[in-house]
Structure formats: structure tokens, C-alpha cells
């Protein structure tokens, strides 16, 4: 009996010695995987953020240039926002097809569900594009950009109901500051600026821009909801799907409106009367469309990787850049009210970023504690 136990202990010790190097090898190799993953993730975040910021700034300035130099079609101003999606088709077609199994296929949404998501998002996007076009048409670009900062507040509010966003004191402070920033611009008299915009048109542009900001915030929250609850895939092809197909539906809807309103009949005269020339007219519209698509890729990519609110935070971060550029490009006046509104918008943005920093520190602390606990258990 004693010899049997001794033999058993020797066998167990031998197995333990053989297993321990493999376990040590796994433990030493595990930290390298997250590092590579984190490096790739941060690089991807930088690319998405750059596309969003650059695309947004250029698209807004070119969109205002269109109206400033003789463009007058609100439908055309809306059309250029989604119509540049064909430039993404080469990237879309080059994406490798993911292998499908029967188990995975049962969890995927049907084609009917996908089509309904893309079409509904596209139609809603068309409405938002039209509101943005009217706001950019009737407001100076500096005022337009500052009012658009309110979209972060709308996005956080909708994400609270749709995506279970926690409203902390810093987030609430951010929402209040961004709301006050937009309200201040109601008292801004821009009727004498930028092609003598009348007070009534200024009010219409302000209301349309606020409506567009609310609609855009809701659209971002719905996109995140679709990623998490319906699509349930983690590939770049899904990001392109949520960019190309809604843009296609939105483009068709706006084209129907363009022809139904008969504004298309005046586009020829509009191009001939464009102050910078016919070639500049076409190039302005083309580069505006391309810039909006770069913005869309960055925006949807950040929603896919992080959240809709985070994507909107990066977008809001770029908004103060546009009013500064507008002073040099279009001669917009930067008076006291606009300066205060800009400071409040930046303050609200930093307040949200600080909350994101606290959440990140808390998550790192939890991961460190969990790793230490696992080491004690396995040690």
C-alpha cells in the first residue's frame, strides 16, 4: 500500500514538473498578446479620429463655401453629405469574406432585418442631412459649428435610454454647459453677417441646426444599439456596411426630393453663376462629398470600437476648430457671445473627457486587482 502511494506521488510530481513549464510559458506569453492588441487598437482609434476630425472640418467649410459663393440648393447641400459612398466600394469589395458556420448563422440577423435597419437609418439620415443643409445655408459657419456642439448632449441623453449610459455628475455638467452654450447663440444677432442673412432665416437656420443635432445624436445611439444588439459582428466589413448601405438609401431619398422639388432645373444656372467658376463649383461639391464619407467612416468606426458618445466627443472636440478657421476663410466675426459659447463648449467637452478618464482608471484598477487575484489563486 505504501509503495503504491509512493509510486503515485512520484508520477504526480513528474506530471506537475512537465506541466509547470507549459503553464509558465502561457503566463509569460499572455501579457504580450494584450500589448499587441492595445497597440493596434490605439492605432485604429487614431486613424478613425483623424478621419472624423479632418473630414468634418473640411466638409463644413466647403459646404459653407458652396452657399457663400452662389450655391442656393438646399437639396444639393444635403445630397453631398451621403452621396460620396461609392469611393468606399473598393475597400468594401477587398474585404475578405468571413467563414460561416451553422452555429454562427443561427445568431445572425436575417436579410430582411438588415435591410430594414439600413433603409430606416438611411431615411432618417436623409432628414438629418437636409436639416444640416438648411442650418449651414442660413447660419454663419462659426455659429453653425457652435450650435452643433449640442449634439453631444442629445447623444448622451438618447444613449442613457437606449444603451444604458450612466449619467455621472461630470456628464451632467457637460450636458448643462453644452446646452447653455447653444442657448447663448440665440441672442447672437448675425443678421448683418454673411450675405445679409435676415433674422427670420437666422431663426430658421438655428432651429434646423438644433433639430439636426438632436437627430444626429439619436442616429448615433441607434447605430450603437444596432451594433451591440442586432449585428453582433466585430469586423471592418460591418463598419462599411453601416456606412455604405444607409448612405445609399439616404442618397436615393434626397435625389427623389431634389427632382420632386424641381430644384435640379436651376443647377445649370447655379453652376454658371458660381463666383469661383464652373470647375470650382464641381470640385467643391465633389470634395465635400468625399470629406463627409471620410467623416462617416471615422464616426461609425469609433461607434463600433467604443461607443456613440465617444464618437460624438471626438466630433465635438473638432467643432471649435471650425469657427476659428471661419474667421479667416469667410470673415465671420468672433464677438463676446461666440467666444463665451466656445469656452463653455470646450469646458463641457473636457468635463466628459475627464469622466472617460476616470472610467478608464477604474477599469485598469479592476483589471489589475483581477490579475493579482488570479495569480494568488494559481500561484
pLDDT of residue 189: 54
- Kindly report, residue by residue over 82-100, the tens digit of the pLDDT: 999 999 898 888 877 655 5
Angle at 361 between CA 357 and CA 365, to 5 degrees: 170
Q: Which residue has the higher pLDDT, 282 or 37?
A: 282
18-27, 261-270, 335-344: least confident range:
18-27
Q: Which three cell numbers stand for residue 98?
A: 468571413
pLDDT of residue 320: 67
Measure Cα distances from 177 to 183, 203, 253, 342 in Å: 10, 22, 35, 10
18-32, 180-194, 238-252, 335-349: least confident range:
18-32
pLDDT of residue 29: 35
> Residue 18: pLDDT above 70?
no
DSSP state of 262: T
Give the pLDDT mean for 121-126: 96
Tell me which residue has cell 452555429: 103
- Kindly report, residue by residue over 180-236, the tens digit of the pLDDT: 877 776 666 544 444 455 678 888 999 999 999 999 999 989 988 988 888 877 677
273-280, long-range: CB < 8 A, 24+ apart: 273/70, 274/69, 274/70, 274/71, 275/69, 275/70, 276/69, 280/69
Give the pLDDT mean for 148-172: 83
Listed in sequence order, the residues at least 6 apart from 250 whose beta carbon sits closer than 8 Å to its beta carbon are 81, 82, 122, 123, 125, 126, 129
Give the pLDDT mean for 33-41: 56
Amino acid at each position: 500500500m505504501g509503495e503504491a502511494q509512493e509510486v503515485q506521488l512520484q508520477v504526480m510530481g513528474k506530471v506537475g514538473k512537465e506541466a509547470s513549464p507549459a503553464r509558465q510559458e502561457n503566463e509569460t506569453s499572455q501579457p504580450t498578446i494584450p500589448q499587441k492588441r492595445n497597440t493596434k487598437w490605439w492605432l485604429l482609434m487614431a486613424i478613425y479620429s483623424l478621419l472624423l476630425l479632418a473630414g468634418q472640418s473640411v466638409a463644413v467649410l466647403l459646404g459653407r463655401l458652396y452657399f457663400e459663393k452662389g450655391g442656393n440648393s438646399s437639396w444639393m447641400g444635403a445630397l453631398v453629405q451621403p452621396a460620396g459612398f461609392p469611393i468606399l466600394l473598393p475597400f468594401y469589395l477587398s474585404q475578405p469574406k468571413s467563414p460561416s458556420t451553422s452555429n454562427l448563422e443561427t445568431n445572425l440577423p436575417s436579410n430582411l432585418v438588415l435591410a430594414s435597419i439600413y433603409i430606416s437609418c438611411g431615411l432618417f439620415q436623409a432628414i438629418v442631412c437636409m436639416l444640416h443643409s438648411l442650418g449651414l445655408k442660413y447660419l454663419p459657419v462659426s455659429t453653425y459649428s457652435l450650435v452643433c456642439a449640442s449634439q453631444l448632449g442629445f447623444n448622451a441623453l438618447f444613449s442613457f435610454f437606449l444603451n444604458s449610459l450612466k449619467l455621472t455628475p461630470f456628464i451632467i455638467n457637460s450636458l448643462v454647459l453644452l446646452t447653455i452654450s447653444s442657448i447663448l447663440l440665440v441672442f447672437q444677432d448675425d443678421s448683418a453677417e454673411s450675405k445679409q442673412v435676415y433674422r427670420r432665416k437666422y431663426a430658421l437656420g438655428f432651429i434646423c441646426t438644433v433639430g439636426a443635432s438632436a437627430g444626429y445624436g439619436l442616429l448615433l445611439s441607434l447605430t450603437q444599439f444596432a451594433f451591440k444588439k442586432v449585428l453582433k459582428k466585430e469586423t471592418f466589413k460591418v463598419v462599411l456596411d453601416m456606412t455604405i448601405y444607409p448612405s445609399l438609401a439616404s442618397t436615393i431619398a434626397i435625389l427623389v426630393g431634389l427632382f420632386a422639388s424641381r430644384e435640379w432645373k436651376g443647377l445649370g444656372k447655379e453652376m454658371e453663376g458660381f463666383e469661383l467658376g464652373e470647375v470650382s463649383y464641381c470640385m467643391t461639391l465633389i470634395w465635400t462629398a468625399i470629406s463627409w464619407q471620410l467623416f462617416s467612416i471615422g464616426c461609425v468606426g469609433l461607434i463600433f470600437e467604443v461607443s456613440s458618445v465617444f464618437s460624438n466627443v471626438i466630433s465635438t472636440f473638432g467643432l471649435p476648430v471650425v469657427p476659428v478657421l471661419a474667421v479667416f476663410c469667410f470673415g465671420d466675426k468672433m464677438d463676446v457671445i461666440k467666444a463665451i459659447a466656445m469656452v463653455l463648449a470646450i469646458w463641457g467637452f473636457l468635463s466628459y473627457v475627464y469622466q472617460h478618464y476616470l472610467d478608464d482608471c477604474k477599469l485598469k484598477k479592476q483589471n489589475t486587482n483581477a490579475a493579482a487575484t488570479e495569480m494568488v489563486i494559481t500561484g
